[in-house]
Amino acid sequence: MEDKSLDFPNNDLEHKVARLSALYDISSALNSIIDRDELLRLIMRKTKELLDVEGTSIIFWDSKKRMFYFPLVVEDTKEIEKSLKQLSFPDDSGIAGWVFHEGRPALVNNVDQDPRFYKQIDKNTKCKTNC
């Protein structure tokens, strides 16, 4: 009887190995890294690698100012990274604002087609959000 469990393309196997490796690295870091920002940066780098994207960011909320901001950014270019870290936007703006206020996730395949998309971030960073 032939074993079909290994009968799939190499790129699929490589992707599965990469995902497992990233999960292992993240779970190891959870038990060894004390600094929150360092841990989040590691998770963001691994996510960026796995998704093969140009960048990742985490949006925090300032409850006093009712604004979102980008304290942690991992981008291909330091210029965009620096630019994003200097930006903030109202908590009722964009897809992030909708998710925040609705308490529901949103899967957006094309931000250009979504009226909730907050274009000011792209204008300020001179970088196009690709989804």
Q: Which of residues 124 and 130 earns the better pLDDT score?
A: 124
Which of 111, 117, 121 lies closest to 89, judged by CA? 121
Tens digit of pLDDT for each residue in 70-80?
A: 999 988 888 88
Q: Is 10 helix (H, G, I), strand (E, B) or coil?
A: helix
Tens digit of pLDDT for each residue in 105-128?
A: 999 999 999 999 999 999 998 888
The model's confidence at residue 8, banded by pLDDT at 50, 70 and 90, is very low
- The whole model's pTM is what? 0.73
Domain boundaries, the chain: 9-52, 54-131
Homologous superfamily (CATH) of 54-131 is GAF domain (3.30.450.40)
Q: Which of residues 57 and 19 earns the better pLDDT score?
A: 57
Mean pLDDT of 24-50: 88
What is the percent of the chain where pLDDT is above 90?
46
Round to whole Å and give the CA distance between 119 and 117: 6
